[in-house]
Structure 1
Amino acid sequence: MLDAKALTKAVCNVVVAVTGLPANKVIIGDNGIDAPTGSYCAVRLQNPEQWGQALNSQTNVQALDDPQYEDIIARVATQFTLGFSINFYRAGAVMYAAALCEANKREPVKTILRAAKLGWSRVSPINNLTGLYQAAMEERAQLTLYLYGESIAEDRIQRIYRAGFTVETEQSGAVAQGEVNGLSG
């Protein structure tokens, strides 16, 4: 399952590493707290989109109920493209946004992404949203950072090793009984 908060914090760490903004000036967007004073950045995960095909695998493991049997662990890794809206406010907003372009080539960013198990896709064009705010011009910039990630789900499947059966014919009513045993070869 995707952990939106952990993913957003990883992107906040990328923004801190690239822009030089202090960590307390790079916040998770829409969190209901007041905006920091001075220049700051708000990061928000947009709708994740499925990308590619899920990677399916199965592994045999010892059964929980009887060690002579085996269960199957079925693993499905769903791949996603994750879009993060990154908004910079106040002095230097456009400069900070531009710093994210090609940031995936920088070693600190590679380290942060690797630790979060994320891959870099691309950065959208920068939107310069500078405008009049409370009777003064306030610099603002927005871009979307696209990353690759995956969500892994595992399910335990118990194998059926023995099944009994009874068969009855319609015409004669003859009955046959038996057992299928997967351990008998």
Structure 2
Amino acid sequence: MTDKELYLLLRPGVSAASGVPLVIMAVQNAPAPKGAYASIHVRTNIDQRGMAFNDRELLPDKETFRRIVRSQQEVTCTVEFYRQGAKRYAANLLQMDKREDIIWKLFKAGLSIMRTGPVLDLTALQSDQYEERARVEIVLRMEVSNAYGINRIMEVTGTVQNENGAPLQSATVKA
């Protein structure tokens, strides 16, 4: 899943839960919108949970195995709110994992919300006036698969030697 796809899945839920009028993708290097808004910065932290699952299957050519490593990842997405009402909008995101109109859409895409919060007050001085700002982190759990191919061993040869290194017997085993 790309960052853009993850943003597009989170955006409707953040908008519905927080009530903020506009939600944009963070780090776009574009001018700030007018009025109150939120930005979603996806994958600000990626962690793992437990050990990955390892699957393998023999492909139809009967010589190649496809190995699939499925890791359980915890992905942090940071939502920052700007201007009037920022802390209130941010507080509305807490417990968004209890809203069925949000969680089932994420679940169908293979995501689940592990936790949200805390609300951090980032109010700052902007152009000689204070601008209300707040940040909330949403931690998602998702499975990420990586596949690769590996060839079967089709033949093994073994040689037995004496203590002087002289060969005594050699054998080959074919699959």
TM-score norm. by structure 2 comes to 0.83
Q: How many residues align?
A: 174
CA root-mean-square deviation: 2.5
Gaps of 5+ in 1: 64-68
User: Counterparts of 1:165 and 1:137 in 2: how far apart (Å)?
Assistant: 78
Alignment correspondent of 1:40: 37
| Deviation sequence 1:107-126 (CA, Å, 0-9, x none) | 22113311331121111211
Alignment correspondent of 1:124: 117
Percent identity over the alignment? Answer: 30
Q: CA deviation at 1:102?
A: 1.0
**Cα contact 2:159–2:167 (8 A) shared by 1:** no
User: Counterparts of 1:159 and 1:76 in 2: how far apart (Å)?
Assistant: 18
Matches within 5 A, 1:27-176: 27-45=24-42, 46-63=44-61, 69=62, 71-163=64-156
**Cα contact 1:13–1:112 (8 A) shared by 2:** no
User: Counterparts of 2:46 and 2:165 in 1: how far apart (Å)?
Assistant: 62
175 and 88 in structure 1: CA distance in 2 versus 1, 3 angstrom threshold: same
| Deviation sequence 1:27-63 (CA, Å, 0-9, x none) | 1211111111111111113121222211112223312
User: Counterparts of 2:107 and 2:167 in 1: how far apart (Å)?
Assistant: 66
Q: CA deviation at 1:172?
A: 9.3
**Cα contact 1:123–1:144 (8 A) shared by 2:** yes
User: Counterparts of 2:144 and 2:159 in 1: how far apart (Å)?
Assistant: 44
Gaps of 5+ in 2: none
173 and 126 in structure 1: CA distance in 2 versus 1, 3 angstrom threshold: closer
